[in-house]
Amino acid sequence: MMLSHDLAGEGPSTVVLLHSGVCDRRMWDAQFAALAAAGVRVVRCDLRGFGETPVDRPHTHCDDLVELLDALGIERAAVVGSSFGGKVALEVAVRHPGRVSALVLLCAVMPGFAASDALRAWGRREDDLIEAGDLDGAVALNVDTWLGPEAGAEARELVRVMQRRAFDVQLAAPEEFGPVDSGVTAGDLAGVVVPCLVVSGAHDVPDFREMARRLAAVLPDTQHIDLDWAGHLPALERPEETGALIAEFVTAVAGTAAAASGG
């Protein structure tokens, strides 16, 4: 089954938007429209277990994405990933390097990163709420944790709706249909040679700030920007500013590639 997705815009370059683990493709509403209007071919999808894509078999998220690109006839794209989506973007770049022209990693999960005691304790709290059947409490915990001070009521409500949808879809799936680890490790990242923009938020959870620092150190061709206003989900906290940041980077990368090829 193909991932549920939207495709818009026309242009010489393509951008793929991958959502965070508390969201689905709706988190990109503002950036999807702006990139398409700017003359970029843009794709956003619901990874398996999120939004409108059910869990119908065991799966590896990065391979699911490549299957979607194949179905759409997209050979190569800049991949933008938020949090968990950033991890998937990195896995695609490692396992399918010819398919990625650039990476934008917004508060991304780093493959192989060992979570702190504090983040593991947070995860146990979420698990306890889910096991107790308190999905509303688990949703509220995620909304309160992952949105920074710039997030308004509309953004908070959207994350609440998206996170609840993810819980409902994932909890309904048979256990044997769970995600299969990609096998990508932190040591593999040094081989990702495409231009990368690593973005962190000053108000994010400390683990993610540390992951951004490490990604910027290990990825060979990287810019690192720390947003003093951002929490964990800058695309929802300041949509226009985050969209402009993405557009500026991918446009510059595309222009450099065209100049190098004589195009």
Treating both helix axes as pointing N-terminal to C-terminal, what angle do 84-95 and 61-72 enclose, rounded to 10 degrees? 70
pLDDT (tens digit, 9 = 90+) per residue, 125-152? 999 999 999 999 999 999 999 999 999 9
* pLDDT (0 to 100) of residue 241: 97
* pLDDT (0 to 100) of residue 182: 85
Q: Check: CB of residue 41 under 8 Å from CB of residue 9.
A: yes
**Averaged over 99-103, what is the pLDDT?**
98
3-state secondary structure of 48: coil
Separation of alpha carbons 194 and 192, rounded Å: 6
Does 263 have pLDDT greater than 60? Answer: no
- State the pTM of this model: 0.96
Separation of alpha carbons 51 and 27, rounded Å: 11
Separation of alpha carbons 247 and 93, rounded Å: 20
* pLDDT (0 to 100) of residue 178: 77
Separation of alpha carbons 155 and 131, rounded Å: 27
CATH class of 5-261: alpha beta
Q: Check: CB of residue 24 under 8 Å from CB of residue 166.
A: yes
pLDDT (tens digit, 9 = 90+) per residue, 160-209? 999 999 999 999 988 888 787 888 999 999 999 999 999 999 999 999 99
Q: What are phi and psi of 45, to 5 degrees?
A: -140, 160
The DSSP element (H or E) to which 102 belongs, if any, is strand 100-106
**Averaged over 73-83, what is the pLDDT?**
97
Separation of alpha carbons 139 and 244, rounded Å: 29
Delimit the domains of the chain by residue range. 5-261
Does 18 have pLDDT greater than 80? Answer: yes
* pLDDT (0 to 100) of residue 11: 87
* pLDDT (0 to 100) of residue 242: 98
pLDDT (tens digit, 9 = 90+) per residue, 210-242? 999 999 999 999 999 999 999 999 999 999 999
Does 259 have pLDDT greater than 60? Answer: no
Q: Check: CB of residue 94 under 8 Å from CB of residue 120.
A: no
Average pLDDT, rounded, for the chain: 94
* Closest listed residue to residue 192, CA positions, set 89, 114, 83: 89
Does 257 have pLDDT greater than 80? Answer: no
Q: Which residues of 198-212 are buried (b: 16+ CB within 10 A; e: fewer)?
A: bbbbebbbebbbebb
* pLDDT (0 to 100) of residue 258: 56
Q: Check: CB of residue 219 under 8 Å from CB of residue 192.
A: yes
